[in-house]
Amino acid sequence: MPTTLAPARVPADTTTASRVADPLHLGDLEVWPPVVLAPMAGVTNAPFRTLCRRHGGGLYVSEMVGARGLVEGNHTSQWKASFAPGETPRSIQLYTIDLHDAAAATELLVTTGAPDGQGGFAPVEHLDLNFGCPAPKVTRHGGGSALPWRTDLYAAIVAATVQAAGDVPVTVKIRKGIDADHLTYLEAGRIAADLGVAAVTLHGRTAEERYGPPADWSSIARLVEAVPEVPVLGNGDIWEAADALRMVAETGCAGVVVGRGCLGRPWLFRDLQAAFAGQPIPTPPTLGEVCELVVEHAELLVEALGDHVGIRELRKHTGWYLQGFPVGGELRRALNQVTSLEQLRELLAGLDRTVPFDEAVRRQPRGHTDRPKRPVLPYGWLDSRHHGAPLPAAAAEVVSGG
């Protein structure tokens, strides 16, 4: 049975008068609260999205999926694009460096769709284009956060995707730029808006900054002013519900995109829904309730991936779930090597379920903590804003980002 944290949800029909923000509109798709789960490689798969969706509303996006892999029927790409049974809205983030791959993958996703978790296929209801990934294996090929520097290539990919998507809303996710001397976000936002995207997400860091220094929310405010005709979503340093309210108030953004803040804390979406509804933030879960979430997450992973792979995938999450709780190094090491649901339940059974959440670690980073590092780019990439020779074939084969 799904774990229920009390109070588990704020009613979706909360009166408009009590809300502190409007619903997010992406074409005909209405998102309430205006909260989006950021695509995170190896994390935001269908089981994790299911767990998060049980706590609050919003738009839950898949991890980054390679467009070329989808078109060619690559098994890994198809798995990353798969939905949970009954999942809606169905949202996919695409990575591509080629306009033809972008169009072909988009046409496939909006017509045939992706695996629906029930043996069939279901068309997507939202597409996001990844122009924000700073991982070296992506940027070294000119992809991700490096690509908007080549404005004509960037525009061609966005245009091809929007055209192929038809009535399905397309959004783009970008960073400020490559580094402080090569900023692209204002131009990239304007190009995307002119080409008909439904929204632009800005992560307030450059590729060089990775995930190190605090996110620059002032850049989000500048983009809001630059493209008033489309919603701008803010991304970066949303660790608790109060951060989301502050970002909206300070920048004027239409909603927030949450990444590392929900790692090990899927109940953040419950808190965000309460905050945007103008309601009190629920009490954080106790250690016992968190242990129930860990088991629930494991069960979802095992159901989707099988015993061996599912439990192996869980291991990366256990440290995030138990961050700040006094569980001891020996147990943490054992959880990092757990091999079955039965063993997981046994390891967690001896913990004191009444231990409260430690507020001192609420804002402690989880996930990527990379310090600034010079981006890895193709030779001569910064010499021109215009795209010449085709990118190497290896660039299109990247199916997971950072």
Answer whether residue 260 is part of any domain.
Answer: yes
Answer whether residue 365 is part of any domain.
Answer: no
Domains contained in the chain, number: 2
Distance CA 349, CA 344 (A): 9
Distance CA 231, CA 211 (A): 24
Amino acid at 195: L
Answer whether residue 362 is part of any domain.
Answer: no
Question: Does the pLDDT of residue 93 top 80, yes or no?
Answer: yes
Confidence grade of residue 183 (pLDDT, cut at 50, 70, 90): very high
Average pLDDT, the chain: 92
Q: Tell me the per-residue pLDDT of 221-240, one tens digit each, with 9 for 90 and over.
A: 999 999 999 999 999 999 99
SS3 assignment for 108-139: HHHHCCEECCCCCEECCCEEEEEECCCCHHHH
Domain boundary residue among 282, 301, 328?
A: 282
Closest alpha carbon to 349 in 291, 265, 307, 298: 291
Same structural domain, 307 and 161: no
**Max CA distance (Å), the chain:** 62
What the block records as the tokens of 389 is 């020779």
Answer whether residue 339 is part of any domain.
Answer: yes
Distance CA 20, CA 24 (A): 12
Calculate the alpha carbon distances from 219 to 37, 188, 192, 250 in Å.
20, 13, 17, 11
* Contact present, 40 and 70 (Cβ < 8 Å): no
Distance CA 202, CA 219 (A): 8
Same structural domain, 73 and 185: yes
Amino acid at 35: V
Confidence grade of residue 7 (pLDDT, cut at 50, 70, 90): very low
Is 133 a residue of the active site? yes
Same structural domain, 178 and 88: yes
Same structural domain, 46 and 182: yes
What's the domain range around 331? Answer: 287-356
Question: Does the pLDDT of residue 287 top 50, yes or no?
Answer: yes
- Classify strands 24-26 and 29-31 as parallel, antiparallel or unpaired: antiparallel
Confidence grade of residue 390 (pLDDT, cut at 50, 70, 90): low
Cβ-proximal residues to 343 (8 Å cutoff; 6+ apart), any chain: none
Same structural domain, 303 and 246: no
Mean pLDDT value across residues 371-386: 93
Same structural domain, 292 and 265: no
Same structural domain, 224 and 298: no
Question: Does the pLDDT of residue 396 top 60, yes or no?
Answer: no
Same structural domain, 155 and 82: yes
Confidence grade of residue 18 (pLDDT, cut at 50, 70, 90): confident
What the block records as the tokens of 258 is 């949450």
- What phi, psi does 27 have (nearest 5°)? 60, -125
Whichever domain contains 323, its CATH number is: 1.10.1200
Which helix (H) or strand (E) segment holds residue 145: the answer is none
What the block records as the tokens of 330 is 């020996």
Confidence grade of residue 9 (pLDDT, cut at 50, 70, 90): very low
Per cent of the chain over pLDDT 90 is 85
Answer whether residue 168 is part of any domain.
Answer: yes
- Which segments of 204-312 are extended strands (E)? 232-235, 255-258
Task: Flag the least confident range among 36-50, 331-345, 376-390.
Answer: 376-390
Q: What is the pTM of this model?
A: 0.92
* Contact present, 3 and 270 (Cβ < 8 Å): no
Same structural domain, 201 and 82: yes
Quickly count: other Cβ atoms within 10 Å of residue 19's Cβ: 16
Confidence grade of residue 8 (pLDDT, cut at 50, 70, 90): very low
Answer whether residue 265 is part of any domain.
Answer: yes
Answer whether residue 182 is part of any domain.
Answer: yes
Which helix (H) or strand (E) segment holds residue 400: the answer is none
Same structural domain, 300 and 196: no
Mean pLDDT value across residues 322-340: 95
Quickly count: other Cβ atoms within 10 Å of residue 229's Cβ: 6
Catalytic residue, candidates 52, 133, 253, 262: 133
Closest alpha carbon to 196 in 22, 27, 23, 39: 27
Q: Tell me the per-residue pLDDT of 95-123, one tens digit each, with 9 for 90 and over.
A: 999 999 999 999 999 999 999 999 999 99
What the block records as the tokens of 293 is 């979430």
Whichever domain contains 137, its CATH number is: 3.20.20.70
Same structural domain, 317 and 181: no
Answer whether residue 270 is part of any domain.
Answer: yes
* Contact present, 385 and 151 (Cβ < 8 Å): yes
Question: Does the pLDDT of residue 13 top 70, yes or no?
Answer: no
Quickly count: other Cβ atoms within 10 Å of residue 325's Cβ: 20
In this prediction, residue 199 carries a pLDDT of 98
Mean pLDDT value across residues 278-282: 96
Same structural domain, 295 and 275: no
* Contact present, 180 and 204 (Cβ < 8 Å): no
Distance CA 170, CA 92 (A): 10
